[in-house]
Chains A and B, each alone.
Chain A
Amino acid sequence: MTARLQFFLLSALGVYFILIFYLLTKKRINLKYTLLWLAFGVVMLVFAAFPQLLRICTEFVGVETPMNGLFAMLIFAVLVILMSLTAIVSKLNEKSKRIIQALALLEKRVRELEGKDGKGT
């Protein structure tokens, strides 16, 4: 890894962390959903700061050039984050279903109390 590449990698990571902290301080994102982003950022930071470590790791798994190893890791990290997003969406779906059901039951109860529900039969 050239010094130039290392410089730009570290700069990009700097922007990445500033963006996350900016969104966190503005309360646009919840910390609990940001932990994965931060964790992957730290891993990237370690590899950018110590290219030797990156070379050892990529050679160990059989990838020839360190940058390809970095790309593979990034893609894996993105997939994990996407899966966690699907899990979050599913949980929200379940929660909204419960709210909708509770709301519908309450609405029926209001009509019952008003004497409007089930008069016909």
Chain B
Amino acid sequence: MKVLMIIPAYNEAENIAAVIRHLAAEAPEVDYVVVNDCSKDSTAAVCKENGFHLISLPINLGIGGGVQTGYLYALEKGYDIAVQFDGDGQHDAAYIKDLIAPIESGQADVVIGSRFVENKGFQSSAARRFGIRFLSGLIKLLCGVRVRDVTSGMRAVNRGMIEKFAQNYAQDYPEPEAILFSALAHARIMEVPVQMRERQGGTSSINLVRSMYYMVKVSIALMVARVSMRGECG
């Protein structure tokens, strides 16, 4: 099966080359594309110098708009599986085969790389884990599916979900919403254990000031998505 890694990158000039080299070494059989979300630093220049596969957005769209561009590309090029993989060095390419195996064998439509199945590796701060647990509970309440690491940006989806995400994907902070959307579209969701690292350079897109906005926005978005998709999934 044709596999595409979608690698969103915003201001990752320091990390992106190492991430792609590591990826090429660990998983040479998969294709990848970096989606540069109009970074203010030299992310695009670094990618071009190194001859990486690059989609460079002319205007900043936010992580969701960038990732969706990757899904549009996967759709256009006829990929069977798309894997989201952060460009900041938090994700380990060694887990890619674990992510795509359940899709290749037809066991799952969506596979989430989860820090909280085996609770190993970087676990994030207590406050963030509490937020993640809250959103996980909300998603369970809204669609009956338990996903522990709802904010994980490491995930693989099959062709059917590539088509759906190319149509409909939240523009900012999309990860929990995408899980609910998948569940309501009757996708089979599976979590596989992964370990993540702390970011190696650059700055995270979520700081303390934005956390409140994040929780409120995502919670409302989840409830709205549940109500507006009721008709489609009975």
The binding surface of chain A is classed by DSSP as helix
**Choice from B21, B51, B65, B171 contacting A118 with Cβ under 8 Å:** B51
**Choice from B53, B57, B58 contacting A117 with Cβ under 8 Å:** B53
Q: Using CB atoms, name the residue of chain A closest to B28.
A: A121
Top 10 A-B pairs, shortest CB-CB distance: A120-B51, A119-B51, A118-B53, A101-B69, A120-B50, A121-B24, A104-B57, A108-B55, A100-B59, A104-B55
Name B residues whose Cβ lies closer than 8 Å to a Cβ of A: 20-21, 24, 32-33, 35, 48, 50-59, 61, 65, 68-69, 72-73, 76, 171
User: Taking the nearest CB of chain A, how far is it from the CB of B103, in angstroms?
Assistant: 23
Known: A100-B58, A101-B65, A118-B52. 13 other contacts (CB 8 A): A100-B61, A100-B65, A101-B68, A107-B56, A108-B33, A108-B55, A108-B73, A117-B54, A118-B51, A119-B51, A121-B21, A121-B32, A121-B51
Pairwise interchain contact B53-A105, C-beta atoms closer than 8 A: no
User: Taking the nearest CB of chain A, how far is it from the CB of B49, in angstroms?
Assistant: 8
CB-defined contacts of A100 to chain B, threshold 8 Å: 57-59, 61, 65
CB-defined contacts of B56 to chain A, threshold 8 Å: 104, 107-108
A103 at the interface (CB under 8 A from B): yes
Pairwise interchain contact A116-B58, C-beta atoms closer than 8 A: no
Q: Using CB atoms, name the residue of chain B closest to A101.
A: B69
A95 at the interface (CB under 8 A from B): no
A91 at the interface (CB under 8 A from B): no
**Choice from B24, B50, B69, B171 contacting A105 with Cβ under 8 Å:** B69
Q: Using CB atoms, name the residue of chain B closest to A94.
A: B171
| Given A97-B171, A121-B20: A108 in contact with B54 (beta carbons within 8 A) | yes
| Given A104-B55, A104-B58, A107-B58: A116 in contact with B69 (beta carbons within 8 A) | no
**Choice from A101, A107, A116 contacting B72 with Cβ under 8 Å:** A101
